[in-house]
Amino acid sequence: MPPTCIMGDGLPGPLLEMLGPDFEVLPWDDSPNSPALPRAEAIIAYGHPTVDGPLMDRAPQLKVISNHGVGVDHIDVAAANTRNIPVGNTPGCLDASTADLTMALILSVARNVLVGDRYARSPEFLHYDPAILIGQEVTGSTLGIVGMGRIGKQVARRAAGFEMQILYHNRNRDVEAETELDVQYRSFNELLAESDFVALNCPLTPETTGLIGAAQFELMKPSAILINMARGPVVETDALYDALSTGQIAAAGIDVTEPEPLPRGHRLLDLENLIITPHLGSASNRTRERMARMTVDNLIAGLRGEDLPYRVQRN
């Protein structure tokens, strides 16, 4: 019996090992005359390739789409549902690692870790000067979390260790989280105005696209720090540059950009008060191992015609 054909690109070694010899991995090819699509019985969406209805229609044998990650904004789930193609993702497994990096960016930006590292390596650092690189104290400051979902709650738990006052904004108020985590609900504008740090931990949806733009930066404190662990399009790129370059806000730490990656030479790359990481939210050893396992479990279940253990439900 020939191996099952799946289409995916750049799949990591551990995931390929889990698949084993029963699968033939076809290079990602979404071109009009793709030789891979007509053969593909499954797709592993690794690295956010666009999987839309027209692509699905050119894959007549397609039985399942297994996303390596939680966010599925690059997959047309509604189109898959109308074609009876289940879509799986990896919920829950990356909450802790993404929350860890949220706090890492808060601390790194507030305490000038990256700027300090460059200075410590430079020829200018010849003696200790206690007057330089005075950062913002994290302990006891106010953190506003936009998106009190699984990741947002993990961020709140970590922030409590820094004695932060924690505000949050959700589409729907979460009274249970308020009691459990000692967090306070605010309207979106109130949260922006009151927070020393604004952490974006929301999914990318039509409602959150462009959520932070010029008008929102105007509401924030001049000393505020923005952290984006959501998706790049949640923040308007030009507005972010303007806010950082004019001192409208103090600094930012972002794990995602729009576009991603930024073109080399983009003006954001020149800013000293911005830290950019290359989409590392889930990039920890244990998390990536769990993600690979969940991706393969969804894939195999879909090929067998069984219920996916982690199916995305979206109309």
Question: Which region holds residue 104: left if phi is over 0, alpha if psi is between -120 and 50, else beta?
Answer: alpha
Check residue 304 and give its pLDDT: 96
Check residue 9 and give its pLDDT: 85
pTM exceeds cut of 0.85: yes
Residue 169 falls in the annotated catalytic set: no
Closest to 144 in 3D by CA, of 131, 155, 130: 155
Check residue 3 and give its pLDDT: 81
Architecture of domain 4-93+286-303: 3-Layer(aba) Sandwich (3.40)
Catalytic member of 180, 207, 218, 260: 260
The yes-or-no answer to whether 4-93+286-303 and 95-276 have a common fold is yes
User: Which run of H or E residues covers position 64?
Assistant: strand 64-67
Catalytic member of 231, 236, 258, 288: 231
Check residue 212 and give its pLDDT: 98
Give me the residue spans of the domains in the chain: 4-93+286-303, 95-276
Which stretches in the chain have pLDDT values below 70? 1, 314-315
Q: How far apart are CA 266 and CA 257, in angstroms?
A: 11
CATH number for 95-276 (one of 3.40.50.300, 3.90.1650.10, 3.40.50.720, 3.90.1150.10): it is: 3.40.50.720
Q: How far apart are CA 68 and CA 87, in angstroms?
A: 11
Catalytic member of 68, 169, 279, 288: 279
Q: How buried is residue 162: exposed, middle or buried, by Cβ count under 10 Å (0-12/13-18/19+)?
A: middle
Question: Which region holds residue 84: left if phi is over 0, alpha if psi is between -120 and 50, else beta?
Answer: left
Check residue 1 and give its pLDDT: 57
Q: Is the peptide bond before 12 cis (omega within 30 degrees of 0)?
A: no
